[in-house]
Amino acid sequence: MHLIVLLGSASAADPSAIHARLQSESGWTLHAESEGVKVYKKDIPELGLPGFKGVKVIDPDVDVGLLYELLQDVGNQDKVNTMLYESKVLGREGD
């Protein structure tokens, strides 16, 4: 499972172009690794900001449904992650 995070301010860039760039496997470079989490970084020229994604193999006993619920609870992520200033949904696809 990959969680891709964009840091920075809103932009007039086309969200679909940004989404396509983030979903592409090319261009990601290993930025850091800690406690089994590999953090990758990718330049996003449309924003002038980097994107980051974390990759970790999780225990097969983890309740994946609960994990997805926690990840999708954008409005409360700043309560769980004290290093996060703000989290918001920029758009949704397939709803």
The backbone region for 23, taken as left when phi is positive above 0, alpha when psi lies in -120 to 50, beta otherwise, is: alpha
Please give the torsion angle defined by the CA atoms of residues 23, 25, 31 and 35, in that order, rounded to the nearest 10 degrees.
80
Is pLDDT larger for residue 6 or for residue 68? 68
SS3 call for 28? coil
Residue 9: band (very low, low, confident or very high) from pLDDT cuts 50, 70, 90: very low
Name residue, tokens 């900001």: 49
Please give the torsion angle defined by the CA atoms of residues 66, 15, 51 and 59, in that order, rounded to the nearest 10 degrees.
20
Average pLDDT, the chain: 78
pTM for this entry: 0.60
- As a whole number of angstroms, the distance between CA 54 and CA 21 comes to 16
Residue 58: band (very low, low, confident or very high) from pLDDT cuts 50, 70, 90: confident
- Is the pLDDT confidence value at 60 over 80? yes
The backbone region for 8, taken as left when phi is positive above 0, alpha when psi lies in -120 to 50, beta otherwise, is: left
